[in-house]
Chains A and B, each alone.
Chain A
Amino acid sequence: MPEQKVDSYARRLDRPVQQAVHDNSAAGTEKRYGSLAKDFTDADSLRRLAGAIRQHSIENLDTYLEQAEASLTRNGAHVHYAVTADDACRAVSDILKKAGAKKIVKSKSMISEEIHLNDHLATQGIESVETDLGEYIIQIDGDHPSHIVKPIIHKNRRDIARSFEREGLGDYNDDPQTITRRARDFMRGKYLGADAGITGANFVVADTGRLVLVTNEGNSRFCLAAPRIHIALVGIEKVIPSDSELTVLLNLLGRSATGQQLTVYTEFINGPARKDRPSGPEEMHVIFMDNQRSEILASNCREILRCIRCGACLNVCPIYRQATGHAYRSVYPGPIGAVLSPLLAGKNFKQLADLPKASSLCGACNEVCPVDIPIPDLLLRLRNKAHEEHLPSPGTPPMAGFGILASSPSIWKIAMKTGGLSSLVPLEKLPLPYLSPWLKTRTLPGWRGGQFRSWMKSRNKK
């Protein structure tokens, strides 16, 4: 029988890699729980409030996006819109070309991964350096992130030491402090020599035009310290109404992502340098990208746009822990990715339509989500969409027969009684394609069909 891709990826995975991802994810889940429980008596109600804030934001995106544009413009930033990933890439390279910029430094941004910005810039002869340590390692290895906030969760320090040696960053040394210091020394030169800094944004505040960026390495600040130009690449769904919502969202983001009360750096960017505000880049551009988000907003899965990219759902997900991030064949892995990636694929939905199946629907993702996204419901809706579009799903039993059987009580009762016949033949020998994957690792209990019904009847007669 053909296999589900996520399952076969998990089966072929190196055990030490799987174990490392599992342990790191489980520790992340513990830290998240600890930091929320320590500070809040009812973290659940805070999650629901944050969910309502984000839902309100996306449902009124038309208003808030316009407001954000006006505020950003008032603050001196240039606002651009990009409909597709290609448009967004072109918008970045056009700004850079116009300014004669050849070298850029980048802070971590999932959206730039989503549109493969670095590949595009390379074709335009523009040097782009990732300055988040994890992302830098991904870049020199020609690899892809396997986690939203811990991009190199699938690598160990020996892998990294070998990569650094290969790149001429010193002799082999797998001491984490040495690795970090070498990266810092290398980055300083890049920051100072860069023409532009590219960042994402965790939030864009509509009424003040504030851009909020959270990091732990401070690299985004360096990206904006020396370069003349700042380009922020932002998904349209990142807009929130006002600063006051940040008190809820920032309290949840750090705790959910890394178990920190607040990330080490939280930057509030209020526009380019001016006379009364002399530091920072002289020129600031904000590119709002749609790339299927309007379609998602119009669909029955719009709640996924609440996401603030904390990665808590990846950490807690038992399937992510077994299969790891690359099993999802897309930029966004784990439960969030199983919903978001097939939707972002748009017309190519069918290529990723298997991802919503890669879930036992246990609901742990919803339980930890800082914006209370009903991820299992959305996975189910996408399964229904795939079924309606007649997309193949390896290993999924057809259900039309079950529908008839379970709505015909007289046939059902006979099946319950005669199902016992199967105990006369060893189950392994029966030509039941969907039973064999079960029986390979599991036994079935003995058939007792109809026994309870008879007992109940005999009791009622008494």
Chain B
Amino acid sequence: MTPTISKPNGRKIQLMATCLCDAFFDNVAKATVEVLEHAGCEIEFPENQTCCGQPAFNCGDWTASRQVMRHTANVFKGDKPVIVPSGSCAAMLFHGAPLEFEKESDLGTINDLAGRTWEIADYLVNGLGIQKWPGRFQARIAFHRACHTRGTPSGAAAMQLLESIEGIEVIPFGEAEQCCGFGGTFSVSFPHVSSSMGCLKLEHITAVNPDFVVSGDMSCMMHLGGLAERGGKPIKTLHFVQILQAALQNHA
């Protein structure tokens, strides 16, 4: 994964809400907006945005994926930073897309978008230089570092912000580096392995009995939350921006 260095970090930004937030997690997208506004950002939400194209990319259909990515690059054209509340969709823009466009004539356009794309925790901490988050949130949380933030500063950035909030206790759990088993279409084409991976993750997490399971990617939370609910032992999941948002509300 490409480390984020010398990306533009102006406060006029474009928000990519992601298709999962568009379809299921409007509260996460709303929290993203409020958190960015608190950080002093002026947010533009391009109406024609759809998806980052990752489902087709991961299935090997790069023709379909590039079709989506070309649309996305057109929607987010300009020179503003593009902020994404998902390590996975952000990595698709700054790592996956350049890979699938390696031999395409419009690689330059794709690289330009890649160079402006930030995962939100990385942007807050390393783009805007925010070291501490104000407010209070009383909870013991288990933080799942989403896999597509490996090799990027995002995981550490999210942890730094969470740990700076008064009242939060981040509790460690076993085999923390392991995947939740989602993997996009992997979860439907390898249902046994995928579910087994998720159940093992849940075992480790529930063993430490957190109030919330928190991540920077709603896809992981959708998978773990869905498994736990089907298994009859629901868990409470949150995107970390929802905690930042809630902490602001408790800010004196």
Does B22 sit within 8 A of A, measured CB to CB?
yes
Does A424 sit within 8 A of B, measured CB to CB?
no
Which of these, B62, B148, B175, contacts A363 with CB under 8 Å? B148
Chain A nearest Cβ from B122, distance in angstroms: 16
Chain B nearest Cβ from A249, distance in angstroms: 22
Chain B residues closer than 8 Å to A444, beta-carbon distance: 24, 222, 226
Does A76 sit within 8 A of B, measured CB to CB?
no
Q: What is the bound-complex CA distance between A364 and B181, given in angstroms?
A: 12
Q: What is the bound-complex CA distance between A407 and B73, given in angstroms?
A: 11
Contact of B65 with A399 in the complex, beta carbons under 8 Å:
yes
Does A406 sit within 8 A of B, measured CB to CB?
yes
Q: What is the bound-complex CA distance between A419 and B24, given in angstroms?
A: 10
Nearest chain A residue, comparing its CB with the CB of B99: A377
Does B179 sit within 8 A of A, measured CB to CB?
yes
B50-107 residues with Cβ-Cβ distance < 8 A to A are 50-51, 53, 55-65, 67-68, 70-71, 75, 96, 99-100
Contact of A406 with B71 in the complex, beta carbons under 8 Å:
yes
Q: What is the bound-complex CA distance between A312 and B147, given in angstroms?
A: 17
Q: What is the bound-complex CA distance between A319 and B191, given in angstroms?
A: 12
Q: What is the bound-complex CA distance between A359 and B148, given in angstroms?
A: 13
Which of these, A316, A319, A397, A416, contacts B193 with CB under 8 Å? A319
Contact of B197 with A394 in the complex, beta carbons under 8 Å:
no
Does B250 sit within 8 A of A, measured CB to CB?
no
Q: What is the bound-complex CA distance between A367 and B50, given in angstroms?
A: 31
Chain B nearest Cβ from A226, distance in angstroms: 46
Does A387 sit within 8 A of B, measured CB to CB?
yes
Contact of A453 with B47 in the complex, beta carbons under 8 Å:
yes
A315-369 residues with Cβ-Cβ distance < 8 A to B are 316, 318-319, 322-323, 357-364, 366-367
A206-220 residues with Cβ-Cβ distance < 8 A to B are none
Given contacts A363-B147, A403-B56, A443-B226, contact A7 B193 (CB under 8 A): yes
Chain B residues closer than 8 Å to A441, beta-carbon distance: 191, 195, 198, 227, 230-231
> Count the B residues whose beta carbon is within 8 Å of the partner chain — how many?
73
Grouping DSSP codes into helix (H, G, I), strand (E, B) and loop, the B interface class, with mixed when no group exceeds half, is: helix
Given contacts A402-B55, A403-B65, A452-B29, contact A359 B21 (CB under 8 A): no
Chain A residues closer than 8 Å to B21, beta-carbon distance: 452
B89-139 residues with Cβ-Cβ distance < 8 A to A are 96, 99-100
Q: What is the bound-complex CA distance between A239 and B45, given in angstroms?
A: 53
Contact of B24 with A406 in the complex, beta carbons under 8 Å:
no
Q: What is the bound-complex CA distance between A442 and B191, given in angstroms?
A: 10
Chain A residues closer than 8 Å to B64, beta-carbon distance: 399-400, 402-403
Does A440 sit within 8 A of B, measured CB to CB?
yes
Q: What is the bound-complex CA distance between A265 and B115, given in angstroms?
A: 47
Chain A nearest Cβ from B221, distance in angstroms: 9
Which of these, B26, B177, B179, contacts A452 with CB under 8 Å? B26
Nearest chain A residue, comparing its CB with the CB of B218: A445
Does B6 sit within 8 A of A, measured CB to CB?
no
Residue-by-residue, is A392-426 near B (CB-CB < 8 Å gives 1, otherwise 0)?
Answer: 01111111101111110100100010010000000
Given contacts A11-B192, A360-B183, A409-B49, contact A448 B61 (CB under 8 A): no
Chain B nearest Cβ from A132, distance in angstroms: 30
Contact of A407 with B68 in the complex, beta carbons under 8 Å:
yes
Which of these, B25, B59, B189, contacts A387 with CB under 8 Å? B59
Residue-by-residue, is B174-186 near A (CB-CB < 8 Å gives 1, otherwise 0)?
Answer: 0101110111111
Contact of B183 with A443 in the complex, beta carbons under 8 Å:
no
A367-399 residues with Cβ-Cβ distance < 8 A to B are 367, 377, 380-381, 383-388, 393-399
Given contacts A360-B179, A366-B151, contact A443 B230 (CB under 8 A): yes
Chain A residues closer than 8 Å to B187, beta-carbon distance: 360, 437-438, 442
Does A4 sit within 8 A of B, measured CB to CB?
yes
Q: What is the bound-complex CA distance between A6 and B182, given in angstroms?
A: 16
Q: What is the bound-complex CA distance between A450 and B56, given in angstroms?
A: 22
Does B36 sit within 8 A of A, measured CB to CB?
no
Contact of A363 with B151 in the complex, beta carbons under 8 Å:
yes
Chain B residues closer than 8 Å to A6, beta-carbon distance: 190, 193
Which of these, B19, B29, B179, B192, contacts A10 with CB under 8 Å? B192
Chain B nearest Cβ from A13, distance in angstroms: 10
Chain A nearest Cβ from B117, distance in angstroms: 17
Chain B residues closer than 8 Å to A380, beta-carbon distance: 57-58, 60, 96, 99
B143-201 residues with Cβ-Cβ distance < 8 A to A are 147-148, 150-151, 175, 177-179, 181-198, 200
Q: What is the bound-complex CA distance between A357 and B67, given in angstroms?
A: 22
Q: Which among A416, A441, A453 has the greatest number of chain B C-beta atoms within 10 A?
A: A441
Chain A residues closer than 8 Å to B5, beta-carbon distance: none
Nearest chain A residue, comparing its CB with the CB of B56: A399
Given contacts A361-B186, A443-B229, contact A399 B59 (CB under 8 A): yes
Q: What is the bound-complex CA distance between A456 and B44, given in angstroms?
A: 10
Contact of A383 with B58 in the complex, beta carbons under 8 Å:
yes
Chain A residues closer than 8 Å to B190, beta-carbon distance: 4, 6-7, 319, 357-358, 395
Does B223 sit within 8 A of A, measured CB to CB?
yes
B1-55 residues with Cβ-Cβ distance < 8 A to A are 1, 17, 19, 21-26, 29-30, 33, 45, 47-51, 53, 55
Does B216 sit within 8 A of A, measured CB to CB?
no
Does B210 sit within 8 A of A, measured CB to CB?
no
Chain B nearest Cβ from A88, distance in angstroms: 32
Chain A nearest Cβ from B55, distance in angstroms: 6
Can you give 6 contacting A-B residue pairs, CB < 8 Å?
Answer: A322-B197, A364-B177, A383-B58, A406-B67, A437-B189, A442-B187
A360-B181, A446-B24 are known contacts; what are 10 more A-B pairs with Cβ within 8 Å? A358-B193, A360-B179, A363-B150, A364-B179, A407-B50, A438-B187, A442-B230, A444-B226, A452-B21, A456-B29
Which B residues fall within an 8 A CB radius of A? 1, 17, 19, 21-26, 29-30, 33, 45, 47-51, 53, 55-65, 67-68, 70-71, 75, 96, 99-100, 147-148, 150-151, 175, 177-179, 181-198, 200, 222-223, 225-227, 229-231
Shortest 3 CB-CB distances between A and B: which pairs? A360-B183, A403-B64, A395-B189
